[in-house]
Amino acid sequence: MIYFDHNATTSIHPEVLEAMMPFLTSQQGNPSSNHSFGRHVHTAIEEAREKVANSVNAHPSQVIFTSSGTESNNTIIHGISRSYPDSHFGFSAIEHPCISEPIKSIEPMGFKNTQIPVDNKCLLNISALNNEEQKNITFLSVMMANNETGVIQDMPTITKWAKSHNIQIHTDAVQAIGKINVDFEELEVDAMTISSHKIYGPQGAAALILNKKIDLHPHLMGGGQEKGLRSGTENIAAIVGFGKACERVQKNIVIINDEIKKCHVYLEKELKNLGAVIFAEQTERLANTTFFAFNNIDGSTLLTALDRKGYAIASGSACSSNSSEASHVLLAMGIESELAQGALRVSLGIETKKDEIKSFLEALKIEVNRLKQLTAMTV
């Protein structure tokens, strides 16, 4: 199998696994215990916290460890709702469900929300809101880089607008970190989500980076871990691995923007030669992500055929890949439902080779031609 689904998850880098192994193979104690075992792992967690903070230019005290990007996003949404009962939530139409669904879930409690549209380039379109809608929003969440199209939002401009309207702002940077520079202090956002398994770290570890000015009510309560903001015994090995993965972030960025970008350019050139439509092609995107479709070809059928030939790609977000519905991101961009239904995503990783892309394109060409012939026979 050749793996082209790195936006869904990455493999653990050997350096990361090496750092984790001592915490998987021997008794390390509970970080909340006062004996030497507990103190040892507590120190390991704090060292990891510092590495995570350094990777996004934040202070270690701003890093709250969680189990996933989904938990981090739920923590900020539910935490804000409980700390600021008059909150009005704004979110982009292309947000991951772990932002949009928690926001919608608190509507019965009286919390209002505004979904902000995007244009046909997949960029946030604040100007589409009327003045009253803009004034109502008190908290805004915008994904820094979209997991499906790879489109990078103009976060400095968005943050500047939010601050001018006294709006608290959060960005889901899960797909951005490790592919482009992510600077918490420079962005001036109030909160940020990042995740370990998107940057060659283990699954089961993530972080919410939080501005100390934000008064956040905890989403999980109990033992008071993570400064009282996320109770629960820490996943020591995963957190240590997360820290090591964050230590390697700059190396990943160099590989993706120097080597993988060349593969990406080649891939998209050949896809267009095959007649593919590449979504958000003219917009600044992650150098590893291509979202495309062929007219009159069902995406799930093509995905299955390619999987049988040994190529792992995606039909969009991994969390909703079993859904038969068209991508909500493409629909928000104004893409016709029939074309959106055929969308497939290729996301390259630091170990991807050009020869793998060449063989993939050969297999793709065969399957596309076969499906076109079948379609012609049924018309």
Beta strands in the chain (DSSP E): 2-3, 63-66, 88-92, 112-116, 139-143, 168-172, 191-195, 206-210, 277-278, 289-293, 311-312, 344-347
Which band of pLDDT confidence, cut at 50, 70 and 90, is reported for residue 374? confident
Domains of the chain: 2-9+250-378 (3.90.1150.10), 14-249 (3.40.640.10)
SS3 string of 100-134? HHHHHHCHHHCCEEEEECECCCCCECHHHCCHHHH
DSSP state of 321: T
Predicted pLDDT of residue 29: 87
- Which pLDDT tens digit goes with each residue over 8-54? 999 999 999 999 999 999 878 888 888 989 888 999 999 999 999 99
- Which pLDDT tens digit goes with each residue over 192-218? 999 999 999 999 999 999 998 999 999
Query: Catalytic site residue 98?
Result: no
| Residue of 98, 122, 246, 319 with catalytic role | 319
Is the CB of residue 175 less than 8 Å from the CB of residue 147?
A: yes
Report in angstroms the alpha-carbon separations of 176 from 132, 243, 314, 378: 32, 17, 18, 43
**For residues 204 and 68, what is the distance between their CA atoms, to the nearest angstrom?**
6
Predicted pLDDT of residue 34: 87
Predicted pLDDT of residue 189: 97
Predicted pLDDT of residue 242: 98
- Which pLDDT tens digit goes with each residue over 54-95? 999 999 999 999 999 999 999 999 999 999 999 999 999 999
